[in-house]
Amino acid sequence: MAELSTLARPYAKAAFKHAADAGALQDWSKMLATAAAVSQHDAVERLLASPTHTAAQQAETVIDVCGDALNESGRNFVHTLSANRRLPLLAEVSRQFEVLKAGLEKNLAVEVTSAGEVSSEQQDKLAAALKSRLGHDVTLQVEVDKSLLGGAVIRAGDTVLDGSVRGRLAKLAEALNS
């Protein structure tokens, strides 16, 4: 996944800069979310992976499905992504745009993946600790993943704190093998 985020980053930054300069962060957020949802639909994913369709045809299909959700700038952005064969990155571009937007608004979306349920009291304590460490208000999104065995993985933008048992075992194995 690191490769997708690396490829998507310049597009997310360009969209963010354009939206911020135009004072249209909320509009761009909605446009990118819509385009990302369209690009993740099964039929559209197949179209984007198909070598029989030109980049212009792919862009026009995404734009047609998005309809009025895209303004002129949004349509131009889709054409730019398409010309560079980056339409499959729309979901990642949208996610990174939201991270940049949250950073500007001093609110950071933090994903917490835990091996077990996290109580609301634990969430409040974690949010307070992350707020003091990261210097932003945080909004937690908590998921449960039993495969972690224990502990949690916290993702805040590009920062990942891996306190899971699975992560610790992987570090131990790496240390033993080196």
Task: Say what angle helices 25-39 and 90-104 make with each other, to 10 degrees.
Answer: 160
pLDDT at 2: 54
**pLDDT tens column, 88-144:** 999 999 999 988 887 777 777 888 999 889 899 999 998 898 888 877 788 888 999
Q: What share of the chain is helix, strand, coil (3-state, %, to 5)?
A: 65, 15, 20
- Asked if domains 2-101 and 107-177 share a fold, the reply is no
Choices 3.40.30, 3.40.50, 2.60.40, 3.30.450: CATH for 107-177: 3.40.30
CA dist., res. 44 & res. 82, Å (int): 13
Picking from 79, 53, 52, the residue whose alpha carbon sits closest to that of residue 64 is 79
pLDDT at 93: 94
Look up the pTM and report it.
0.63
Domain limits, the chain: 2-101, 107-177
Residue 172 pLDDT greater than 90, yes or no: no
The band of 64, judged by pLDDT with boundaries at 50, 70 and 90, is very high
**pLDDT tens column, 12-63:** 999 999 999 998 999 999 999 999 999 999 999 998 888 899 999 999 999 9
At residue 157, what are phi and psi to the nearest 5 degrees?
Answer: 65, -125
Q: CATH says 2-101 is which class?
A: mainly alpha
